[in-house]
A = this chain, B = another copy of it.
Amino acid sequence: MGSLDANCIASPRGFSPLDIDDFRQQAHQTVEFICEYYKGIESHPVVPQVEPGYLRRLLPETPSAQPMPFAKVLSEVQATVLPGMTHWTNPNFFAYFPATLSSAALCGDLLASALNPVAFNWLSSPAVTELESLTLDWLAQLIRLPKGFLFSAGGGGVLQATTSEAVLCTLVAARKMVLERAGHDGADKLVVYASDQTHSTFAKACKIAGIAPANIRIIPTAREDLFSLRPDSLRAAMEADAAAGLLPAYVCATVGTTSSTAVDPVAQLAEVAGRFGAWVHVDAAYAGSACVCPEFRHHLDGVDRVDSISMSPHKWLLTGLDCCCLWVRDRARLTTSLSTDPEYLKNRATESGLVVDYKDWQVRPSSFPHRSPTAKNSVALKLFMVMRCYGTANLQSHIRSDVRMARGFEEMVAADTRFEVVVPRRFALVCFRMRPRRAGADGEAEADAANRRLLEEVNNSGGIYATHTVIGGIYVIRFAVGTTLTEERHVKAAWELFRAKADAAWEAAQ
């Protein structure tokens, strides 16, 4: 491109980056590109065979001065980006938790990108703000949250990008609540609680909010409790802190932990926390989606006693990334801790008190366009389109289908005497391993090595991708069913792969 200091010469016909005919043609090309990609999705290895730095070897070091035809850019993406992708939409992807998406979500996303509105306050985009409030009220009803979380009762929901932000915002609100009640600014006295199974998002939020590391209580869990947080352990920790003159401020309970989908007993934890006036947040990022089915809803029992709850439809409710929903029971507590009110945003709608200004509900929308949109502008629209296009009936059937497939996998594991299910499956994640061949620490160490080897071999085959965790000191393979395209045949083939490689992996690891 010659010298970067030179001015570049633009196209003589002028530059119209939103020309309708160009957009129509390019968008239709992109749609066809995507259809081809999905058609061939199983032909890609799930995890790419690339070395760190591969992409810089394929693309120039400096940006191009001149435009490149759209079709050529698409071909370049095909040739350089796709080979380095971990294919999260591949039906043989069983790693982490699935990233579900759907046609309705993709179209909703595109539509919202094209509208490109910014909803930091009501006036800046009434429809987007109101759609977000309404859609969150709908979803609250779908997972049967108590009425107190609806807007009509003083609560309300907001879209956050991820659980990280949901935890951070509620932690900031809790900090303000507890310090005001205590009547002093001793932020260094605040104590927060979670189990050792809580997502690391919690530790990160504490770090960012400046909670003193010594005041973060990570309470151990045990296999005999299925790795859920014991209320008596929480009570003991809180009592000790209160006795030491500290301020118990925040409890993060999880419904469906990342490692093993353990469920903390929400009602009992809320009862304990209530005695100390601490804020209780429920992180139901993964399992919250399952609660659209009545048979899973009991996992949220006690949610009427907590202050906030978040769940992520981008995990298991077909919306694609990013879509995390946070509800609070007292919206004023959240907004007073996060609001800013600069002159250039003053307007009559806000002063009327009749509207929601989402800038005061999150980290991002500090207040001004683009620096601070409400989550991604698109999120409410795609969540709306998913709920509207599919209806509760199909969303329930989608969850049940994944659970049924996971149950099938669990049964196959249980039927093979070399294997064991380490914790009973609750949703669509199966945690399993090859059993130790002898008792004691040495047997456990052998089993860890063998299972590690097995997972490596299965993943290196390129056929599927699963991940691991270590729970209760045991190396465990996590098999998460649920990408949108996964069918029973993929689950069966995956099990065949584990089964076929088991003995050799054991031998090789010893």
Contact = CB atoms under 8 A, between A and B. Distances in A.
Chain B CB within 10 A, most for which of A31, A144, A377: A31
Contact of A70 (B33, B104, B144): B104
B126 A50 contact: yes
A127 B161 contact: no
Contact of A342 (B138, B200, B320, B340): B200
Nearest to A11: B394
B134 A55 contact: yes
A354 B53 CA distance: 8
| Stoichiometry (number of copies) | 2
Interface in A468-502: 468-470, 478, 484-485
B344 A259 contact: yes
Interface residues of A, number: 177
Interface string A13-42: 001011110111011111111110111000
Interface stretch (A164-172, A300-308, A407-415, A436-444): A164-172
B366 A201 contact: yes
Contacts of A393: 8-11, 65-67
Given A55-B130, A106-B110, A123-B86, A28 B31 contact: yes
B322 A376 contact: yes
Contacts of A11: 393-394, 397
Contacts of A320: 113, 116
A110 B34 contact: yes
A294 interface: yes
Given A68-B391, A109-B110, A208 B207 contact: no
A253 interface: no
A122 to B, nearest CB: 7
A113 B117 contact: no
Contacts of A19: 103
Minimum-distance CB pairs A-B, first 3: A84-B127, A10-B397, A8-B393
13 contacts: A18-B102, A23-B106, A24-B31, A50-B126, A52-B122, A63-B139, A67-B389, A87-B117, A163-B366, A200-B340, A204-B367, A209-B210, A343-B468
